Structure 1
């Protein structure tokens, strides 16, 4: 198969689709802001510290961080999301299209945030390490990185195989399963004009131990692991999240 015939990666099409934003329109903004507030209390960034929101989507977290008085850059692979985020850009808030597998063209940063399971999408595991090395290279010495990921142990144990969700007059049919080390969510629905569409989300089922191997290869030191957005200690059986605090 020639390179031109290779299928696009799932995230490059799904995240640019208006149906992605429709399906997840009800994400809890208050919870997200409370999480960021807790992180800022823990990290104590200095005023006008340089922050990077890595995989920023439409910039909701970047915008909130900027409102707290920091200089923020948001990057994301989705051109559609960055175009939407650009409406909020100002002197201390910038956005650009960027693939985290490529070296960052900006920086250095005092803090890098990778929030709400925006990691582990790539087909080849080596790409995860490349992305982390690029992030580490963009950190100042002594800088910190936050990676917020699902708690794979609990997520796999409690996986809901089938779910239906109504959003914007469209019924989404969701099917979750494990496939070759990935947690897969298949998304099927019919558009208002009768077109049947199918998308997938794939996130690698990364254990805490696998992450620790990545961090070692990227030259990042693990400082602490929290288990939820209130920053309570991580418990493999009970915690909904794995929130890693890393230092260069």
Structure 2
């Protein structure tokens, strides 16, 4: 399978720089607290899906949690393993498709961050994805999905489509803009312009289709999977931000595994 936005993700070091503005330590605190508060036990194992450089997995691994990651990109895997080694973290990183994968041992918590699940365009593939995740979780495991806020379906964006990150390694200008739209699916054009301290310039552009989801769709997919229910919905990676609050800028869905994965989903 050819990864969407492949040119962007092949440039793993530039992608890492482009999203270095995110507070990964705070984000993994949210993930860990979400699990502990709802399950009443310590988080012991974690799987990051569509992981890219696996920043969340590595951060949790540095806290002593068993961590694993999955992504289609060999470039991202190579970078993630390098970063994990630098932090002294043992990272089990597998190349694979988040819609169809199998892994053991099972984990307490899985997460799909930075809107990576928007690449799953069809209902059937999203349900297949949930079933694959369900099979990778322990009996009462948790799955957290970070998605764009559904107000994007009404033409109201809650995020900046362009930004700049400056670090000693260089400066990168990034744009992630919406092109043509067909219902809930839009063609998103991603551009990165990197300038090194020596004056070298590298420009990369690619486009791919992405889908914005409503809460009701995720609830329907969870029910169709036969193994998940929606446990909570938030408007940011914060427990105190509801989806309908002015401060909401994401759709964060917390799912609970409630049953073993059956032979077939109700969509089949």
Q: How high is the TM-score relative to the length of structure 1?
A: 0.80
Q: Secondary structure at the match of 2:57?
A: helix
Residues 64-103 of structure 1: matches in 2 within 5 Å? 64-87=59-82, 88=84, 93-103=91-101
Query: Aligned partners of 1:208 and 1:130: how far apart in 2?
Result: 18
Shift of 1:65: 1.3
Q: Which residue of 2 aligns with 1:244?
A: 253
Deviations for 1:14-64, whole angstroms, at most 9, x for unmatched residues?
A: 212244334334333344344335435434574572321222221211112
Q: Check whether the contact 2:43–2:108 (CA below 8 A) recurs between aligned residues.
A: no
Q: Which residue of 2 aligns with 1:17?
A: 11
Q: Which residue of 2 aligns with 1:62?
A: 57
Q: Which residue of 2 aligns with 1:3?
A: none
Q: Secondary structure at the match of 2:119?
A: coil
Deviations for 1:151-196, whole angstroms, at most 9, x for unmatched residues?
A: 1225741367974747645655553245122244313466777886
Where structure 2 has 5 or more consecutive residues not aligned to the other structure, the ranges are 258-268
- Are the structure 2 counterparts of residues 129 and 17 from structure 1 closer, same or farther at C-alpha, using a change threshold of 3 Å? same
Residues 66-145 of structure 1: matches in 2 within 5 Å? 66-87=61-82, 88=84, 93-145=91-143
Q: Check whether the contact 2:146–2:252 (CA below 8 A) recurs between aligned residues.
A: yes
- Are the structure 2 counterparts of residues 46 and 79 from structure 1 closer, same or farther at C-alpha, using a change threshold of 3 Å? farther
- Are the structure 2 counterparts of residues 213 and 83 from structure 1 closer, same or farther at C-alpha, using a change threshold of 3 Å? same
Whether 1:175 and 2:184 are equivalent positions in the alignment is no
- Are the structure 2 counterparts of residues 96 and 133 from structure 1 closer, same or farther at C-alpha, using a change threshold of 3 Å? same
Q: Check whether the contact 1:72–1:92 (CA below 8 A) recurs between aligned residues.
A: yes
Q: How high is the TM-score relative to the length of structure 2?
A: 0.74
Where structure 1 has 5 or more consecutive residues not aligned to the other structure, the ranges are 1-6
- Are the structure 2 counterparts of residues 134 and 170 from structure 1 closer, same or farther at C-alpha, using a change threshold of 3 Å? closer
Q: Check whether the contact 2:162–2:173 (CA below 8 A) recurs between aligned residues.
A: no
Q: Secondary structure at the match of 2:118?
A: coil
Deviations for 1:112-142, whole angstroms, at most 9, x for unmatched residues?
A: 1222322120344422221111101122222
